Amino acid sequence: MSEDQPITATEASAPLVGIARVDRRTKDLAKRLEPGEIAVIDHTDLDTVATESLLAAGVGAVVNASPCISGRYPNAGPLLLAAAEVPVIDGVGSEVMEAVADGETITVDGGRILVGDVEIAAGTRQDTHSFAEVLDVARSNMGDELQ
C-alpha cells in the first residue's frame, strides 16, 4: 500500500503506515486532511459532526489522545467511524500531540503508534463492539450527569 492510497477495510488488521495530520481542533484538521491520512486528535467525546467531517475527508485512521467516549453521556460519533471500518486508536495520551509532527509518516500497529521503529504512544484499538460497550455505560451514567 502506498502512502497516498486510502486504507481499506481488508487492511484494517495489518499495520497501517500513513501521513499524520495533527491538530487539537478536529474541525480544522478535517479541512486539511487528504484521503487515507491518519488524523491525530485530542477530542474527548468525539461528536457526530466532527466524525462526519473526518469521514467526508476520507480519513484512513484516527489516533485520539483522549477517549472518544468518556462515559459521561452517550455520543454515537465514534460508532460511525467503526461502522465505516476506520481504525480508531483511543486514549493514547496527550503526549502524542507533541511526539508526532504534522506530515510525518507514522505506523499504527494494533494499539501502538510508531515513528520509525520507536513506539511513541499506545492506546486501545476500538471497534463497533467496544464502542457499544462504552455507550451502554454512558447511557447508564446519563442520569448522574443530569443531576
**What confidence category does residue 139 fall into, taking pLDDT thresholds of 50, 70 and 90?**
confident
The full set of domain ranges for the chain reads 9-146
DSSP of the chain, one letter per residue? --TTSPPPGGGTTS-EEEEEEE-S-HHHHHHHPPTTPEEEE--TT--HHHHHHHHHHT-SEEEESS-S--SSS---HHHHHHHTT--EEE---TTHHHHS-TT-EEEEETTEEEETTEEEEE-EEE-HHHHHHHHHHHHHHHHHHH-
pLDDT of residue 99: 97
Q: What would the pLDDT profile of 2-53 be if each residue is shown by its tens digit?
A: 444 444 434 456 899 999 999 999 999 999 999 999 999 999 999 999 999 9
Topology adopted by domain 9-146: Glucose Oxidase; domain 1 (3.50.30)
Q: What would the pLDDT profile of 64-102 be if each residue is shown by its tens digit?
A: 999 999 888 778 899 999 999 999 999 999 999 999 999
